[in-house]
Structure 1
């Protein structure tokens, strides 16, 4: 069973130490970045999870022109989220729920099993989305561990989380729920879970759940390996994604308000 100890220990330890110092800045690793504000997690992003802008625009929560306008007008001031709300393009509650979803989806990968690389911290750095609802580090760590336990119970091989995926030749699926059928239709031997989630404008975690179910049913496998691309640099930063689990995110938000 996955526990907190099975997460990327160097990253978790670094986050805990930064939280104790009430640090502000960004912790950079090979699989993404975690932004801290006064010791709390203000944002997280990873190339393995669609970013907030992609989720908002592809789900039609915000039109692409409105999103670009917010980036142009408020990105340099790190107030994109506030600008969306102040201009009436997005309700404050919808922003919080979408932001929490994107944050936890990305953190799942950033805090994944250890790879031996030490993360680096840049003091004072802030994300362009601005302050939405910072999350305590211990809440983030527990939620990532909970998600990993749930996924491992469905299918205990995590390759489907990040590898290009292919359909199993000759497999004939029984009647599948519509959600799983839509995901299966996106599998082409090249797309990863993140790319499928982005194409469908779905939360990454829910996409991972359905992909592991498809793997457990013998319908999906990692695609045969190709030449490995260059590894992303340790200071990777994504550029300046609905189907959210609204009940879970509202519970998380309520719990944060009670702290």
Structure 2
């Protein structure tokens, strides 16, 4: 059961959904839940596992939902008697630890080349969940991109199937026009906080015109940051990655394109 619980939490995190892991750390007397019992509670109120069932479990679930809403871990104690908070007759007590897993900002990088590698190096210091989409294993592996999710195969199709939400930032830096176009098509109108595509104005305008002819609206296409990045100068892969990440942080933090001395 523990493996199932952890797998369900892992799936929820992949979909960027909130969850809580509840572990019974101590129990005394006739408590229905014993030390080591585990359950998961999700923001949609679904659960898996048990901490003993009955009124105790209903109360623990409500406490976990409050912890999820507040975004904080919590120790909680429950007395299972008339004078306790549950008004039960068991006569025991139970202590649980509620570990909350919240939504995180996710950086979805289509492509695994030099710019993608530099962008990964920058973003990992800002606690983003990073996902690499590539169709070449030599450019997308755990040696090149340690401690992040790597999805190999058709970039456009995999992006299309991947969950995207308001805390997703999509950067398209593949090795060619057709791959960029497929990734852009898969990312538009999905609710992402940011979608950016690398390339010259000529190239990005060409792709936008193609997508217009396929039925994408002008408003949808204007939401994409293409060409991508801020004009920071420099032409190395790290310079380009820094200009991209700076644009992402500008959007994320509702910043202003001003020198601090001008504010």
Q: Settle same-fold status: TM greater than 0.5.
A: no
TM-score, length-scaled by structure 2: 0.24
Which structure is higher in helix share?
A: 1
- More RCO (CA 8 Å, sep 6+): 1
TM-score, length-scaled by structure 1: 0.25
Name which one, 1 or 2, has greater alpha-carbon Rg: 2
